[in-house]
């Protein structure tokens, strides 16, 4: 869940085709990202001295910071100055995201994230549960530094939804009585919600009209869903070297994602039964076999089409706002994501 972004990070070789990577869009956010890093470092002071080094360990700078980028892009004004409100909001969404990563890594018993030991591995699961809680708390505390309760309300609301999505996903692991619609609901809650929050906060705090704020938020929701489907597709069609994580983890952990739904709908009965037994943990997962079947049955194209449709709906949300400064910048993200998907093509 919430896999870190796949493109460049300081410890990974640079993306060979930068025009199709998120970093190409994020390049224009260098001043913002640099201020965000400073701001996040300063937040250490807010934590009790005993846990500062642990918080510092979590707030590393190697993440892609996609959610902060959405805050900055949706709040874009053609002005040279970096808005302190946007920096703070970006820190809030990043801290919420980092907290969910810390908790996710406990549940997945993950060893590494971004080429370092996870917090759960470094400090133990028990401390990691609490460390995630402390990050959540501080995100909310930062939210209270805005003049009204609006930001805090939006953030806590999204946090609850993200958790609900992850709970449902956790409870459904290893079961096959899940529908593709259940899956869409889960990714809407666990991933799209925080994308939505990021654009809501960015455009709202930048003072854009209610109708534009609502448009960027709806756009972000679609982008978030599309991104999660792409991420789930990469779990089968990705290149381990390139995406920096083991493939086939969804199949191995009994998580029914869209590529698996598409596959199961197209498999003949005996093979489908086998697939379901793999999901249920009653038969060892055969990744190579499943990937072969996906290639044979055109699963890539089916999922790619769903991503494309999701992005098209997202783009349409911004159609009436072509003249606003954030619009063109946000739309570049959909192009980049389409490019990333295309590069997975078998």
Q: Pick the stretch among 76-84, 153-161, 203-211, 219-227 that binds a copy of itself (CB under 8 A).
A: 153-161
How many angstroms from the chain centroid is the CA of residue 71? 14
**Separation of alpha carbons 259 and 298, rounded Å:** 10
**Is residue 191 near a copy of itself by the rule CB under 8 A?**
no
Q: How many CB atoms lie within 10 A of CB 207?
A: 12
61-90 binders of a copy of itself (CB under 8 A): none
**Is residue 51 near a copy of itself by the rule CB under 8 A?**
yes
**Is residue 54 near a copy of itself by the rule CB under 8 A?**
yes
CB of 109 to a copy of itself, least distance (A): 10
B/e letters for 67-91, b = 16+ CB within 10 Å, e = fewer, are bbbbbbbbbbeeeeebbebbbbbbb
**Is residue 253 near a copy of itself by the rule CB under 8 A?**
no
- Residue number with CB closer to a copy of itself (158 or 334): 158
**Separation of alpha carbons 145 and 77, rounded Å:** 22
Among 87, 93, 101, 152, binds a copy of itself (CB under 8 A): 152
Task: Give the residue among 160, 161, 154 at the shortest CA–CA distance from 213.
Answer: 154
- Residue number with CB closer to a copy of itself (46 or 316): 46
**Is residue 241 near a copy of itself by the rule CB under 8 A?**
no
- Residue number with CB closer to a copy of itself (36 or 128): 128
Write phi, then psi, for 69 (nearest 5 degrees): -60, -40
CB of 223 to a copy of itself, least distance (A): 22
**Is residue 178 near a copy of itself by the rule CB under 8 A?**
no
Write phi, then psi, for 226 (nearest 5 degrees): -60, -40
**Is residue 130 near a copy of itself by the rule CB under 8 A?**
yes
Question: Under 8 Å CB-to-CB from 90, ≥6 apart: which residues?
Answer: 32, 36, 65, 67, 68, 71, 72, 198, 202
**Is residue 147 near a copy of itself by the rule CB under 8 A?**
yes
Among 50, 181, 210, 269, binds a copy of itself (CB under 8 A): 50
Size of the site for a copy of itself (CB under 8 A): 50
**Is residue 48 near a copy of itself by the rule CB under 8 A?**
yes
Q: Go through the chain and tell me how many residues it has.
A: 346
């Amino acid at each position: 869940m919430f896999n870190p972004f796949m493109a460049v990070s300081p410890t990974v070789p640079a993306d060979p085709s930068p025009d199709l990577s998120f970093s190409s869009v994020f390049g224009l956010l260098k001043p913002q990202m640099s201020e965000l890093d400073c701001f996040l470092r300063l937040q250490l002071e807010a934590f009790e001295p005993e846990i500062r080094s642990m918080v510092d360990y979590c707030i590393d700078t190697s993440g892609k910071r996609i959610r902060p980028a959405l805050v900055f892009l949706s709040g874009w004004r053609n002005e040279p100055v970096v808005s302190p409100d946007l920096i703070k909001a970006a820190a809030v969404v990043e801290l919420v995201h980092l907290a969910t990563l810390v908790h996710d890594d406990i549940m997945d018993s993950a060893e590494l994230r971004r080429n370092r030991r996870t917090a759960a591995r470094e400090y133990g699961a028990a401390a990691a549960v609490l460390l995630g809680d402390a990050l959540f708390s501080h995100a909310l505390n930062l939210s209270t530094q805005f003049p009204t309760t609006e930001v805090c309300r939006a953030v806590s609301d999204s946090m609850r939804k993200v958790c609900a999505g992850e709970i449902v996903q956790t409870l459904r692991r290893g079961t096959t009585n899940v529908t593709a619609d259940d899956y869409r609901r889960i990714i809407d809650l666990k991933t799209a919600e925080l994308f939505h929050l990021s654009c809501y906060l960015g455009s709202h705090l930048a003072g854009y009209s209610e109708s534009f704020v609502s448009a960027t938020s709806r756009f972000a929701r679609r982008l978030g869903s599309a991104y999660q489907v792409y991420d789930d597709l990469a779990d089968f069609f990705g290149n381990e070297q390139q995406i920096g994580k083991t493939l086939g983890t969804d199949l191995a952990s009994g998580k029914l994602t869209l590529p698996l739904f598409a596959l199961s709908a197209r498999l003949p009965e005996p093979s489908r039964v086998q697939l379901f037994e793999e999901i249920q943990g009653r038969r060892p997962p055969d990744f190579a076999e499943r990937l072969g079947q996906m290639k044979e049955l055109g699963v890539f194209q089916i999922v790619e089409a769903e991503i494309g449709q999701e992005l098209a709906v997202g783009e349409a949300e911004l159609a009436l706002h072509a003249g606003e400064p954030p619009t063109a910048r946000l739309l570049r993200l959909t192009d980049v994501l389409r490019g990333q998907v295309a590069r997975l093509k078998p």
